[in-house]
Amino acid sequence: MLTLNQEEEKALNGGYGSTIQKAMDHLVKVGEALGARRMVKVSRAHLLSMEVADILYELTYRMLEKVQVRIPTTTNPLAVDLNRAGEMNIPRDIIEAMQPGIHRLTQLHKNAGVLPTYSCHPHYLHELALGQRVAFTEFNVAPLANSWFGARTNLGGQTDALASAVTGKAPECGLYLMENRWGEVVIEISGEVEPDKFDSSDYGALGYWAGQVCVDRIPVYVGLKKDISSRQVEYMGVGQVLAGSLGMMHIVGVTPESPTMEDALGRGEPEEKFVFGKKELAKVYAELNTAKKTKVDMVCLGCPHCPIEEVIKIAQLLYGKRIEKNVRLWIGTSQPTYFLAKQMGLVDIIEAAGGFVLCNVCAGTGLLLRFADRLGVQVVANNGLTLSGLVSRRTRGKVGVYFGNIEQCINAAITGYWEGKKHEI
């Protein structure tokens, strides 16, 4: 039975206004449905944005109407940069159709005190620590918080995160409880795939495969390099969520809660063990590369948003070169990274080659889901999994996707054709 304290009861009874009452009522219903016994304080929140400008706006407005968020709250990218849409050759009627929704959403965020990060890589702004409770939505933000920082968050939806943002509370259930965070399935990465040489897409492929075999059970990875980066873990987290519903993972020796295999498993035994080898890797690439022709219309990098290391790499690959005239190259990153890259001259190098470095927006996904035909995009290449996992499916194959590493994607932008490496099944 869910028990509320005096402050929570007052919120539920309307003592802090109708908006807070709606939020607390939502959290109580979620908690009761999931067997929570109490509410707990959360210190940070992260919201969606791209999807909210139209279909989820009214819901978001009701949760933020005439209130300020109680905890630092960041928000995900928008669908398009209205200031640069013209020079990016986005049709004028598309811009005009999206402009009102984006303007009212950003104004709502301003009124409610939401931090205008507009990035799917907001961790630079959140002070996260082992055991800290936060309320994050988004398929890479939550898994990274759980798995890299050791913070605690469920992989919540927009409504859950909104309600927590304005109340500072969440029902204590799911991944907030230590007993629900233990690893359940062991995944051994075979030496035959040379995990020390994995690139960004290989990590994504591993996470995607794990999501398929684990479904909703938490994996424990064995055999990855000890100096794995947070960015590589982020790519794995995206794959896990797109193929399954895994809000966290354990990487032995890396995840704060998992210094040993025994710790990762909570001193218990795994339900199952799997080996990820060449056959498994090849099957993932075969499934995610859905394009039927080699000519590429668009290349999208930065989903999740690129850190500065990736922007540097992209600039180095493009230095002194030009992308093919009929190919769009869009690179998404956060505002701080964009301004740093601008100061370093990286933005100038990339845009001199014909690409666009964008902040505040999603690198292609938001527009391709709705307007791929209007943009003349039939085939898109990417090194993350969002386009493979969302665009290809949501357009029912009308947009073919190539999935590979950054080098392969930049080569496709320059030549206009995909030349990805082959994986034998």
Overall average pLDDT of the 362-371 stretch: 84
Q: What is the pLDDT of residue 388?
A: 78
Query: pLDDT, tens digit, for every residue of 93-126?
Result: 999 988 999 999 999 999 999 999 999 989 989 9
Query: pLDDT, tens digit, for every residue of 299-337?
Result: 999 989 999 999 999 999 999 999 999 999 999 999 999
Query: pLDDT, tens digit, for every residue of 176-211?
Result: 999 999 999 999 999 999 999 999 999 999 999 999
Residue with the bigger pLDDT between 386 and 311: it is 311
Taking a C-beta distance cutoff of 8 angstroms, is the pair 381, 233 a contact? no
Query: pLDDT, tens digit, for every residue of 211-255?
Result: 999 999 999 999 999 899 999 999 999 999 999 989 999 999 999
Q: Which residue, chain included where needed, has tokens 């500065």?
A: 308
- pLDDT interval class at 422 (50, 70, 90): low
Q: What is the pLDDT of residue 393?
A: 76
| Calpha distance 155→72 (Å, rounded) | 18
| Calpha distance 288→244 (Å, rounded) | 15
Nearest-CA neighbor of 393 among 290, 244, 260, 271? 290
Q: What is the pLDDT of residue 8?
A: 98
- Return phi, psi of residue 14, to 5°: 90, 10
Q: What is the pLDDT of residue 334?
A: 95
Looking at the whole model, is its pTM more than 0.85?
A: yes
Query: pLDDT, tens digit, for every residue of 144-167?
Result: 999 999 999 999 899 999 999 999
Q: Which CATH superfamily is domain 289-415 in?
A: Aconitase, domain 3 (3.30.499.10)
Residue 396 predicted with pLDDT over 80: no
Long-range pairs, 348-353, Cβ under 8 A, ≥24:
349/315, 349/318, 349/319, 350/311, 350/314, 350/315, 350/318, 353/318, 353/319, 353/321, 353/322, 353/323, 353/329
What is the CATH T-level fold of the domain 6-178, as seen in this structure? Aconitase; domain 3 (3.30.499)
Q: Degrees (nearest 5) of the Cα angle 296, 297, 299?
A: 80
Residue 424 predicted with pLDDT over 80: no
132 torsion bin: left (phi>0), alpha (psi -120 to 50), beta (else):
beta
Task: Please give the DSSP secondary-structure letter assigned to residue 60.
Answer: H
Q: What is the pLDDT of residue 129?
A: 95
Query: pLDDT, tens digit, for every residue of 47-85?
Result: 999 877 777 888 899 999 999 999 999 999 999 999 999
Residue 425 predicted with pLDDT over 60: no
